[in-house]
Chain A
Amino acid sequence: MIVPLAIVTALLFAVALYLAFFRAPLESENVGTTLPILYVHVPNAWLSQFAYGLMFVAAFGTLVWRHPLADVAAKAAAPLGAGFTALALYTGALWGRPTWGTFWEWDGRMTSTLILLFIYLSIIALWRAFEDQLKAARIVAIVTLVGGIDIPIIKFSVDWWNTLHQPASIITGTGPRMAGSIFLPLILMVLAFTLLFLTLHLSTMRTEILRRRVETLSRQAAARTGA
């Protein structure tokens, strides 16, 4: 499952990058010559919230159904989500400097995304703080549900407050606000990054399941030695 997914991801990246740099215009009316940065910024911004959404659903799985796979899915998504959120902030800063004249502004969208990164880092720290992973899973699930309030704040920050960040331009009531030649590589890049996330997430989940098995066997071995 993981290898075919990785191959499809690589192919999708190749097609999307080819379209972005050799078929689509390299500048647009509303964003100018920094357009290529959006092809990496938008997918990372999307994944920063997608990974959290997955953790949010998994938190319900942990607290309501007490399903062990929910713990594993949540734990595996956290470092990936943190990585993609850091990339969203990094590429956003590199886009902001030539466009707005600043790398950083304490506005609604950027600040709430930075808070999301801190939430991810806190969750990773919580997973590591407890030896009992079942106890950690329940505490992390509660923190994840509480921290989920940040996601609608990120989404609607551009509507609620005065911000440098432009309003939604892909998911709008009237459809995407950009030329088709730009939208196609952008949506393919979003798909490629999403498949990359799913590939890494599946692999990390499998590793976490095996790691738990190793811990159980190590305890079994220690008990046998002690007996």
Chain B
Amino acid sequence: MIDLGPHTNFIVAAYVGVALVTLALIVWTAWRSRDVKGRLAALEAQGIRRRSDSTT
């Protein structure tokens, strides 16, 4: 175990906070991407495509 000295609590709180917020940003980014791709797939499954796609 690393000895972080007398301010261990502050150091641990800083790293835990950064890890949690960073993780939240990653999860939020991934979730939004998945959600939008799902909605796009649903629309395309109904045969709704961009006009530029349907002409090619």
User: Interface residue tally of chain B, by bracket?
Assistant: 20 to 34
8 Å CB contact of A94 from B4, B14, B48, B51: B14
Quick one: which of B1-45 are within 8 Å of A by CB? 2-7, 10-11, 13-15, 17-18, 21-22, 24-26, 28-30, 32-33, 36-37, 39-40, 43-44
Pairwise interchain contact A217-B21, C-beta atoms closer than 8 A: no
Q: Which chain A residues border B7 with CB–CB below 8 Å?
A: 33-34, 98
Task: Compute how far the CA of A220 lies from the CA of B56 in the bound complex, rounded to whole angstroms.
Answer: 18
A25 CB to nearest chain B CB (Å):
11
Q: Which one, B13, B46, B50, contacts A213 given CB within 8 A?
A: B50
Stretch in A84-92, A113-121, A134-142, A148-156 with 4+ CB within 8 Å of B? A84-92
Q: Which residues of B contact A206 (CB under 8 A)?
A: 33
A203 to B48, CA, bound (A): 24
CB distance from B6 to the nearest CB of A (A): 6
Q: Is the CB of B11 within 8 A of A217?
A: no
Q: Are B36 and A33 in contact (CB under 8 A)?
A: no
**Which A residues lie within 8 Å of B33 (CB)?**
203, 206-207, 210
Q: A36-B4, A207-B36, A217-B49 are in contact. List 18 more A-B contacts (CB 8 A).
A: A27-B5, A34-B11, A36-B11, A37-B14, A40-B14, A41-B14, A79-B25, A79-B28, A90-B14, A90-B21, A95-B10, A203-B33, A210-B33, A210-B40, A214-B39, A217-B50, A221-B43, A221-B46
Question: Quick one: closest A residue to B7, CB to CB?
Answer: A98
Contacts of B25 in A (CB 8 A): 79-80, 83, 200
| B39 partner residues in chain A, CB cutoff 8 A | 214
Majority SS at the chain B contact face: helix
Interface, chain B (partner A; CB < 8 A) = 2-7, 10-11, 13-15, 17-18, 21-22, 24-26, 28-30, 32-33, 36-37, 39-40, 43-44, 46, 48-51
Residue A21 at the chain B interface, CB threshold 8 Å: yes
Residue of B nearest to A96 (CB): B10
Contact A34 B43 (CB under 8 A): no
Assembly CA distance A91 to B30 (angstroms):
25
Q: Indicate if A67 sits at the interface (CB-CB under 8 A).
A: no
A-B contact pairs, 19 of them (CB 8 A): A33-B7, A34-B10, A36-B14, A40-B14, A44-B18, A87-B17, A90-B18, A90-B21, A94-B14, A95-B14, A98-B10, A196-B22, A203-B29, A203-B33, A210-B36, A210-B37, A213-B40, A214-B36, A220-B48
